[in-house]
A and B are shown apart, each in its own frame.
Chain A
Amino acid sequence: MYETAYARPRTLEEAVELLQSDEDAKCLAGGMTYVPTLKQRLAMPSLLVDLSRLLSRDIAVADGFLTIGAGARHVDVQRSQIVRETLPALAELAGLIGDPMVRNRGTIGGSLSNNDPAADYPSAALALDAQITTTKQQYAAADFLSGMFETLLDDDEIVTHVRFKIPVCAAYSKFASKASGYAVAGAFVARFDDDVRVAITGAGPCVFRADQLEEALKGDFNVWALKGKTIEPEGLLSDMHADAEYRAALAVEMTKRAVHQITGA
């Protein structure tokens, strides 16, 4: 790891100032992605702005929305009574991330800011039409999660909160890589009064919605409605773990499993 400066600001204003003071400054939250990145010398920031004790870890429900502070660790979401009652699928998703030590440090804000194509939270954010609040503005998850390891964040912008729309019911199903634990394909299915949203992670360069599957489920929210429905493999990822065709098939299968978890049939 290259040597770099380190600061632990006490307020968000101070953190933003630090990020603005130095164009190669980077923020650090749980460090579960960024510390390994630094150790591999894949990044060379001049200053690390440590947000880990600054960002809110609060979790609250109001008016049909669940709001989570960007500093909430995966374990906070996994164990939160509020999340378990209002959006159990999200608590389950958090419990599937990495392992207990990773969940003790990693944050929801860090996961969304990193937008790893195989990460779990982006699928929930997209399926639950999340609003992502930063020190500058609010974004719809669909815009914010803009590409492979890419978001709309500026260098001096910090995610502070994530607000999920609470569905009637939802489920997440993940086919995890045996080696890394990350999703080879994962599907987050959310059913609202007047809508069904299916977000697929792991399969493509960035989380995406499966239109054909959503349409079928809007007609009839049942596993059988997905019979013969597919996801187009073109543009999906191919690597030594799985090729695009297999990932496309797996994503449909994960969607079926998620629907099955909800309907129980």
Chain B
Amino acid sequence: MNKISLTVNGNKVEASVETRVLLSQLLREELGLTGTHVGCDTSQCGACTVHLDGEAVKSCSVLAAACDGAKVETIESLSDHPLQEAMVRHQGLQCGFCTPGVVMSGLDMIRRHGSSLTRERIAEELEGNICRCTGYRGMVDAIYEVSQDV
């Protein structure tokens, strides 16, 4: 067992985890933060994207034990964020399964590129977020719109 202490969405969390527990499992099963989705569990789909020390990562591919001392932010850290609102308005989601990951990836892009973000760059950077419903158009528009306001 590994004793870890980390900050999740601003709250201090202490846990004792087996090495094989993934960050996605810690969030969903231990902490009940089921907004982080597990689409593939094979590092492909990006539904499980969260921010680890400020950077977007696939939480299904990070060991919880490796997050001792880290700061984690999940989709639950947002409420009525302009990007969530824009996703709805631009129909950037249908079934919504990929959406938490797309929003966390989108925020990461906006943080890094700010208003220099282009639609082409957004499409390129969405490489790691697979959506089976929308065709991506709406989410690209939503991320683009919010990036232009920062």
Contact = CB atoms under 8 A, between A and B. Distances in A.
A105 B43 CA distance: 12
Interface in A1-19: 1-6, 8
A91 B105 CA distance: 21
B19 interface: yes
Contacts, number: 74
Contact of A35 (B18, B55, B61): B61
Contacts of B55: 75, 104
B46 interface: yes
Given A6-B19, A99-B46, A104-B57, A31 B128 contact: no
Given A6-B2, A39-B41, A99 B127 contact: yes
A100 B128 contact: yes
26 contacts: A2-B20, A3-B18, A4-B20, A6-B2, A6-B63, A6-B66, A28-B66, A35-B22, A35-B61, A36-B42, A39-B22, A39-B41, A50-B66, A98-B127, A99-B125, A99-B127, A99-B128, A100-B127, A101-B57, A102-B43, A104-B55, A104-B56, A105-B57, A105-B61, A105-B62, A181-B127
Contact of B42 (A3, A39, A48): A39
A174 to B, nearest CB: 13
- The 10 A-B residue pairs with the shortest CB-CB distance, nearest first, are A99-B128, A99-B127, A1-B20, A6-B19, A104-B55, A6-B65, A101-B128, A101-B58, A35-B61, A36-B43
A181 B126 CA distance: 13
Interface residues of B, number: 27
A interface bracket (residues with beta carbon within 8 Å of B): 20 to 34
Interface of B: 2, 18-20, 22, 41-43, 46, 49, 55-58, 61-63, 65-66, 68, 105, 108-109, 125, 127-129
A231 interface: no
A32 interface: yes
B19 A5 contact: yes
Contacts of A5: 19
Interface string A105-134: 100000000000000000000000000000
Interface string A170-194: 0000000000010000000000000
Given A48-B63, A98-B127, 9 more contacts: A6-B19, A31-B62, A31-B63, A35-B63, A50-B65, A75-B55, A99-B46, A100-B56, A102-B58
